[in-house]
Every structure is written in structure tokens, then in C-alpha cells.
Amino acid sequence: NAGVTQTPKFQVLKTGQSMTLQCAQDMNHEYMSWYRQDPGMGLRLIHYSVGAGITDQGEVPNGYNVSRSTTEDFPLRLLSAAPSQTSVYFCASSLMDGNSGANVLTFGAGSRLTVL
């Protein structure tokens, strides 16, 4: 049981390049999400999904795309990288209990992205 697996752990891009951060979970979680974490700020939600074929925007979606073709995978695509996207990115998943808010997130190890 690997939990949430993110790749790559580190990446350096040049401005304008594109790339995909991979995220996979083996816990059969319906909910998956992408966050970015910047110094001095709380985690900010980029995109999320409540099931295969369903995605929605979070707080900071501009410059990022997602898709959810399977329950397990939720890749994050940077279309044209900008220095402002230098950050640490976390993928997180959870079961969804519609009767309570006790949906505990399991996080991947993180991907540190630098855009020059």
C-alpha cells in the first residue's frame, strides 16, 4: 500500500516550458487535489476532483490544467511555466464522507518546482 505517489520530486524548468506532475493513489479515494505551498502562506488549492471524469477549480487555478480519467491518477499540467509558479506542489487524496467534514487528507511527498 504505497498511499499517494508523486513524481518528480524535483524539477527545474525554463520560462515557457510545459510539464506534468504525476500523482497516483492506491487507496480507492474518490477525492483528489493539488495544492501549492509557498513560504509564509497557507496551502492553496489549485484544482480538485471528486471522482473520475469530474474536476473543478480551486483558489489558484490559472496556468494549470488537470484531468481525472481514472480513480487512481490525477496529473497536474503546467502549460507555460512562469517564475511565479516556483513552489512546492502537493497532491492529496481522501475518502468522501458526505455526512461529515471528517475527510482526512493523505498527502504525497511533494514536488519542488523551480522556474527560471
Nearest CA to 29 out of 108, 95, 99, 101 is that of 95
109 binds other proteins (CB under 8 A): yes
Report the distance separating Cα 13 and Cα 34, nearest Å.
19
Which residues fall within 8 angstroms of residue 99, CB to CB, at 6 or more apart?
A: none
Q: Contacts with other proteins: how many residues (CB under 8 A)?
A: 19
54 binds other proteins (CB under 8 A): no
> In this chain, which stretch among 13-21, 22-30, 38-46, 63-71 interacts with other proteins, using CB under 8 A?
38-46
> In this chain, which stretch among 16-24, 60-68, 70-78, 108-116 interacts with other proteins, using CB under 8 A?
108-116
Supply angle C-alpha 90, 104, 112, rounded to 5: 10
Applying CB under 8 A, which residues contact other proteins? 40-45, 58, 90, 100-110
